[in-house]
Amino acid sequence: MYICNALNCHTHSAFSLTIIEYIDVTGLSLDDALLLILEREQFYLDLIFSEDEPNTYNILKVAGSSLGFNHSEKTKAKLS
C-alpha cells in the first residue's frame, strides 16, 4: 500500500525500475532455485537497510517472510 500511495502522490515519473542482478537458475531444482533467489534478495535487503533505511519502501527486512508485518485495521476488516 505504501508504494501505491507514493505512486498516487508523486506519479510514476518519480520512480524507476532497475534490474540489479540476473540470477541463472538453469539446472537447479525448484527448491535450490528458490533458496538462491531468497539468498540474493536478502543480500540486497541487508544492503538497503544498512545504508538507506529511511528512504526505502520495503517494510519487510527478511526475504520471503512476512514476519513482523501487521496489516492495518482497515485491511484486516477487508480480509475478514
Confidence at residue 34, expressed as pLDDT on a 0 to 100 scale: 92
| Predicted structure pTM score | 0.63
Residue 70 makes CB contacts below 8 A (sequence gap 6+) with none
Confidence at residue 55, expressed as pLDDT on a 0 to 100 scale: 65
Domain boundaries, the chain: 2-79
Residue range 3-37, pLDDT digits in tens: 788 889 988 888 888 899 999 999 999 999 999 99
Please answer whether residues 27 and 36 qualify as being in contact, where contact means their C-beta atoms are separated by less than 8 angstroms: no
Query: HEC states along the chain?
Result: CHHHHHHHHHCHHHCCCCCCCCCCCCCCCHHHHHHHHHHHHHHHHHHHHHHHHHHCCCCCCCCCCCCCCCCCHHHHHHHC
